[in-house]
Amino acid sequence: MIKEAEKDFGKYVLLAIVVGLVFLAYKIISPYIIVLISAFILAYMARPVYLFLNRKLSAGFSAFICLLLILAIFIIPVGLVLTQVGFQTYDFVQEGTFYRVSESISSLPIVDKFNLDISALGLKFFSFLLSLITDFATQIPAMVLSFLVFLFAVYYTLISWETISRKLQNFLPFDNKNKVVAEIDHSTKGIVFGYLLIAIIDFVVAATGFYLLGIHLYLLLAFLIAIFAFVPGVGPGFVWVPTAAYYIINGNYFVGGGVVVLGVILGFFIETLLMTRILGKTAKIHPLIMLLGILGGISIFGLFGFIIGPLILIYAIKVVTGIVEGMGN
């Protein structure tokens, strides 16, 4: 009796230790969960390139080249946009455009009617802008650390993909796991390459629109829109909003208004309506589930939630379906 009690006590102690270790492990990696999931998804997207390079190069060197390509794809467009914004901001200040805009606003009847102090509002705006810049600057060390973790995670996921996949597959609690894994793989490819198709459509529509509006940098702007189409919360608006503002502030209302219309087409019709239909077909998932996955994923996971959200819903549906079918068999 005493031995059985000691045995049961030992089991409870072991269970408590395991739960404690799992909890501590979660607390350690919790700040980087989204980073790790994002790295896993990006590694999946880069895997075809990695496999192609790995035919003649070592695994480590192939993964390193993939990292360089990823950095080039993301950093170069951001650098181009920020450089362009910097030049336009400099011209905006040097040419006295801000002063002219301020004078135009001050002369509006509504300003006199409500006794608005444009100078005070301008100071408040710049104070708010400065606070945003300060907050962003304080986050830079954490962002750099997360980015380094992201790069390491992508690198080691690429070179250890087979091992990771095999271990994850062993955790699936049913017999028809190969079928479920194949369906998950198909759905994942559908989502990833569906987003690629959306980016191509964004590029074609944006390039055509900018060209018809007479914007000289139409190919560059369209390329940037295609890149930022992968970044929810930023998206094509990161390109077309400052472009429209630039032309409107400089008095070219026709081009500025045309860019706004183009932005609505890109943001609503393509990025929302068309995206859910295309991703639903390529991943063979109902458009409503895709829409819920995108919106819910962004609200929970932030930056890469537009991919993580639908994938989690798909994985949950496939795993539950596999369990039910396994129980039925």
Domain boundaries, the chain: 32-165, 176-329
Q: How far apart are CA 222 and CA 60, in angstroms?
A: 34
pLDDT at 230 over 80: no
Average pLDDT score over residue span 204-231: 83
**Angle, vertex CA 134, rays to CA 133 and CA 140, nearest 5:** 90
pLDDT at 324 over 80: no
> With pLDDT > 90 as the criterion, what percentage of the chain qualifies?
3
81 or 187, greater pLDDT: 187
Say what the pLDDT of residue 108 is. Answer: 55
178: phi then psi, degrees, rounded to nearest 5 = -65, -40
**Angle, vertex CA 171, rays to CA 46 and CA 301, nearest 5:** 50
Type of residue at 310? P
Q: Which residues contact 246 (CB under 8 A, 6 or more apart)?
A: 88, 256
Q: Which residues contact 221 (CB under 8 A, 6 or more apart)?
A: 206, 210, 215, 239, 240, 243
321 or 253, greater pLDDT: 253
Say what the pLDDT of residue 208 is. Answer: 92
153 or 324, greater pLDDT: 153
pTM: 0.62
Contact between 117 and 3 under an 8 Å Cβ cutoff? The reply is: no
Is 78 exposed, middle or buried (CB count within 10 Å of its CB: 0-12, 13-18, 19+)?
middle
Query: Taking Cα atoms as reference points, which of 211, 212, 230 lies closest to residue 220?
Result: 211
118 or 42, greater pLDDT: 42
Per-residue pLDDT of 46-72, as tens digits, reads: 888 898 998 888 888 999 999 998 888
Model confidence band, residue 86 (pLDDT cutoffs 50, 70, 90): low
Per-residue pLDDT of 265-319, as tens digits, reads: 887 787 777 777 777 676 667 767 777 777 777 777 666 676 777 777 877 777 7
Q: How far apart are CA 266 and CA 209, in angstroms?
A: 10
**Cα 112 to chain centroid, rounded:** 44
**Angle, vertex CA 129, rays to CA 223 and CA 82, nearest 5:** 25
Q: Which residues contact 157 (CB under 8 A, 6 or more apart)?
A: 39, 40, 43, 164
